[in-house]
Amino acid sequence: MDFRELMESKYREMLANYMENPSEQALYQGQKFSRKSIEHHVSPEEIIMLHKSLLEELEPNLSAKVIQSFDILLEVMMGYGLAYRELQSLRHKQHEIKTEIEIAANVQQTLLGTDIPSVEGLDIGALSVPAKLMNGDYFHFVEDENQNINVAIADVIGKGIPAALCMSMIKYAMDSLPESRNTPSTVLENLNRVVEQNVDLSMFITMFYGMYSLKSHTFRYASAGHEPGFFYCGETKVFSELEAKGLLLGIEKRTKYPQYEKKVNPGDMIILMSDGVTECRTENGFLERESLIGFIRKYIHLPAQEIVNNIFRELEKLQQFQLRDDFTLIILKRNV
């Protein structure tokens, strides 16, 4: 016997008990019945029709006007019931979509994962936190056979699943590059051709690619329209921008990317970031680059990973713990 076959007898018993003794316990039985009705997809108008028919049976001398008033209630609840069922359907679909996105986010995290190199003389810290479930930022490290630490940081201008798919494509292209990597300018030229052929023109991708030589302690880099990083000189205690010019990836197939070079001495630092760091929105507007430098100075005595973690906490606090954009920050700090 299904629920609807039991529903009439159970409701009759519950209604009769309440009419005889209108107690809190009887009302609680009504709440339990309501939950069961929802579980078995019984509509509100079905409950009202049942209530009306049972009331006529239990109280045959009840005023006809009172009985007729249920017709108005029934009409009202028919529209309500339709809207309620649509809401339940939307909630079910929303739950399915959320589950799928969570699975996709876990896959993305595994796919885009990279190990932070641990090498003598160079302290590296990195953190990437998505504003939503899916990350539109990407960073990657490769230690090649020539004792170079290759570092890439990219940002899709946009959020959500389209940005995440673009990042997955960039990761695949990066993995397809030769182990030696050649030079930063060559890497960006190769990636630019891949993006130009495979990404819609409405999607914009910026990238910074650097190559740190552990032999000569020089940092060669090129940029495809990416947020400029900082260079900190340990001797003078001065921050300067890592200026680099270059067109965004995928705009023009034959784009050439100028290459730059910095000598890195003990105590020097290279700071790379996505625009989610520099465009952090506070109550007073966007975060000034000088304010960001102030946070770096505050924690500069700490290991690179702790600097990165502390800056993230500071900026997260400024945004009331609600990131408006994906956050990625990388610090390379020469110790000796």
Domain boundaries, the chain: 3-104, 116-334
SS3 of 182, please? coil
The DSSP bridge partners found for residue 238 are 233
Q: Does the pLDDT of residue 133 top 70, yes or no?
A: no
Q: What is the mean pLDDT of residues 317-330?
A: 81
| Percent of the chain with pLDDT strictly greater than 90 | 34
Asked if 124 and 115 touch (Cβ cutoff 8 Å), the reply is no
CA 22, 25, 31, 34 torsion-angle sign: negative
Predicted confidence (pLDDT) at residue 32 exceeds the cutoff of 80:
yes
- Averaging pLDDT over each range in 2-16, 197-211, 230-244, which range is the top one? 230-244
DSSP code for 133: S
Class in CATH terms, 116-334: alpha beta
For residue 160, the model assigns a pLDDT of 65
Mean pLDDT of 157-163: 69
Please give the biggest Cα pair distance in the chain.
Answer: 101
| Average pLDDT value for the chain | 85
Which contacts qualify for 285-294: CB closer than 8 Å, 24 or more apart? 287/315, 287/318, 293/230, 293/239
For 3-104, the fitting CATH number among 1.10.490.10, 1.10.1240.30, 3.90.198.10, 3.40.50.2300 is 1.10.1240.30
Given a cut of 70, is residue 159 above it in pLDDT?
no
238 three-state secondary structure: strand
- Specify the pTM: 0.72
